[in-house]
A and B are shown apart, each in its own frame.
Chain A
Amino acid sequence: MPLFGKFKYGGKNVISGSDAGAIAAKLCRPSVISAYPITPQTIIVERLAEMVNNGEMKAEMVKVESEHSAASVQMGAQATGVRTIGASCSQGLALMNEILHVISGLRLPCVMMVANRALSAPISIWNDHSDTMASRDTGWIQLHCENNQEIFDTVIQAYKIAEDKNVMLPIMPCFDGYILSHLYESVNVATQSQVDNFLPAYKAVHHYLDPKRPITIGSVAPPNCYTEFKFQQQKAMDKALKVIKKVNSEFSKEFGRSYGNGLVEEYKLKNADTVLIGMGSVCGTIKSVVDKHKGVGLLRIKSFRPFPTEDIVRALSNAKRVAVVDKAFSFGNAGPLFTEVKAVSPVKKINGFIMGLGGRSITEKDIEFVIKNAGVEKNFWVNVNE
């Protein structure tokens, strides 16, 4: 029984965000798939399994017994010198947290899709950004998508960014669980030859396990060198800022689509006094409200890690008021995106809005509230029953 709806390569298809991610991953020719089912990411694993079992995809699918092992298997495979794919979210991402640090520390260019979901307790299978925010400091690049086409495109771009010799860092293409993972939208699905042209076959460099050139990976770093390893990791993040932009424009040449400059997308900022800042699918809602106003614009953060400080400072240079929408919260402080933007914002009238936690809908009315209260001396939990 085929789970997929019919779709064709090289044309528009109405498919879910999970389908888009799975098909894009397949076109990138990973050799090993390692993922464990978790709602709402599960469809990605199912689609990949279907393609493997139907012989459409030539890859080893390791059906692991936990997310901790999912990340560990992906790590082991990538370190052996092949391209890999993973997928997770929420509790699963929290369980593999330890290994996320190891993967980035070992500079393995893994790609793992995340269908963003809230964290327990209380348990919630619905969307917010608590899971990737809790993974913020794992050393992974985090690229947030607004729609299904962007999921498809970002997965392909992710491999090229991660595998760039100046980067060599793992990437999470992030997209909102259910809101995108289960939403059917028109997606232009590339052909295999288009993707092959854009993304060369994987060739591991330097650190991979090969009996012909034995090396030790994952050794003990005493205090005299641990800092240097971590410093190099940050240098790679700095370099990734440039590489993400470069790959975004290369992608545009090959496929005719791009997402701002790859790091941020500026929407109607030119004459905007009031600037809203957000990540992911909520930006679609914000855009439709912004269209009804004069003097209001949106700065969408696509790359949360590395954090595009320069682009944010430049984009806010004409703004008078800034409102940051967060789908996560750092208890005892404020929204994580808000605190980070505030730290670099040239605009002093800046405040944060907590919205859409655990799948609560963000309506146009909510966005109107944000616009109305942008920049006042107070942060808000929007639409909360106090």
Chain B
Amino acid sequence: MNNLPEKEYFASGHNACRGCGPAIAMRWIAKAAGDNTVIAHATGCMEVISTLYPYTSWKTPWIHSAFENAGAVGSGVEAALKTLYSKNRPNVLMIGGDGSTFDIGFQALSGAIQRKHNFCYVCYDNEAYQNTGYQRSGATPKYARTTTTPYGKVVHGNDTWQKPMPLIIAAHGAKYIATASVSNVVDLYNKVKKGLEIPGPAYVQVQTPCVPGWGINQASTIQVAKLGVETGAYPLYEIEGGKVKMTRKLEKLVPVKKYLELQARFRNLSEDEVKEFQSRVRYWYKYIESLESKGKVFP
């Protein structure tokens, strides 16, 4: 903790909501990357709130162009940096939300990993298209109420589970993959730092509760994120050299109900639906935990 830099690279005064989970993540991601960094940022909440012309929150060089191409823009940056620097080459940090990462920008990210550019991609996962007003994405959990998956009389919220994105990235042969939570920024900091230090493509996915999208109290962002981890809904692990390691081992999973009941997006769930949610959470937590003992499971 004492070694964390005091210098800020993501300035305050931006336009994020009070209690914004992603904004907390940005601060620590930028700290982990430090001075010698170029950031390629996808369209999304964090881009919109941080760069309203003529202001910027970013103290390192930063570029944004579109929703689906942070992986490709960052690839171009990295290719150019290779030709410009023979030593002390700047870090390439790519940042995208879950919609940009799981859905529309998936192809660009997939290509970037396969080409083995040297970068760390951080997905801030607020589990829906929150920037456009809380629509479901490929990262939205089942039964979550969003504006495109309302809790109706016939259909109860979202009807799909999240893509297992970190595992999909691991299957690509990325050098380092990690999940993180804004409830533990030191862990987030260390994982992003590690992702940047390891040569080759790295992917860090951090769960970042969205106050208006999730319907949570603006003072409870960290509490909700913490429960996300403790219930096993957002397991924390890293994959290095194809080996899975749980970075937060849970002796016992806190009942997922405690996590769901703090969020308006899950307010109307029936008992059966909560049960299904619980068994899904347990299944995935146990599945990932089981990979730990299997040695090298990814390329």
Cross-chain contact A32 with B66 (CB below 8 angstroms):
no
B16 CB to closest chain A CB (Å) equals 13
CB-nearest residue of chain B relative to A64? B111
The docked-state distance in angstroms from the alpha carbon of A78 to that of B81 is: 11
A76-B53 contact given A59-B83, A65-B110, CB 8 Å threshold:
no
A205 within 8 A of B: no
What 1/0 mask marks residues of chain A from 70 to 102 whose CB sits below 8 Å from any chain B CB? 001111111111101000000000000011001
A211-B60 contact given A62-B75, A77-B79, CB 8 Å threshold:
yes
Partner pick for B76 among A63, A80, A98, A217, CB 8 A cutoff: A80
Q: How many A-B residue pairs have CB under 8 A?
A: 152
Partner pick for A66 among B65, B76, B107, CB 8 A cutoff: B107
What residues of chain A lie closer than 8 Å to B72, measured between beta carbons? 64, 68-69, 72-73, 76
What residues of chain B lie closer than 8 Å to A59, measured between beta carbons? 83
CB-nearest residue of chain B relative to A106? B65
The docked-state distance in angstroms from the alpha carbon of A102 to that of B62 is: 15
A211-B38 contact given A68-B68, A81-B84, CB 8 Å threshold:
yes
Cross-chain contact B66 with A211 (CB below 8 angstroms):
no
What 1/0 mask marks residues of chain A from 201 to 221 whose CB sits below 8 Å from any chain B CB? 000000001110111111111
The docked-state distance in angstroms from the alpha carbon of A221 to that of B48 is: 10
Partner pick for A210 among B56, B58, B61, B82, CB 8 A cutoff: B61
The docked-state distance in angstroms from the alpha carbon of A161 to that of B292 is: 58
A63-B115 contact given A72-B66, A76-B73, A76-B77, CB 8 Å threshold:
yes
Cross-chain contact B107 with A80 (CB below 8 angstroms):
no
A60-B69 contact given A79-B63, A211-B38, CB 8 Å threshold:
no
Size of A's binding interface in residues, CB under 8 A: 42
The docked-state distance in angstroms from the alpha carbon of A173 to that of B288 is: 52
Cross-chain contact B65 with A214 (CB below 8 angstroms):
no
The docked-state distance in angstroms from the alpha carbon of A174 to that of B40 is: 30
Cross-chain contact B66 with A98 (CB below 8 angstroms):
yes
The docked-state distance in angstroms from the alpha carbon of A109 to that of B111 is: 25
Q: Which of B65-98 contact A (CB under 8 A)?
A: 65-66, 68-69, 71-77, 79-84, 90
CB-nearest residue of chain B relative to A216? B56
Cross-chain contact B79 with A73 (CB below 8 angstroms):
yes
B210 CB to closest chain A CB (Å) equals 19
Cross-chain contact A73 with B65 (CB below 8 angstroms):
no
Cross-chain contact A217 with B64 (CB below 8 angstroms):
yes
A34 within 8 A of B: yes
B35 within 8 A of A: yes
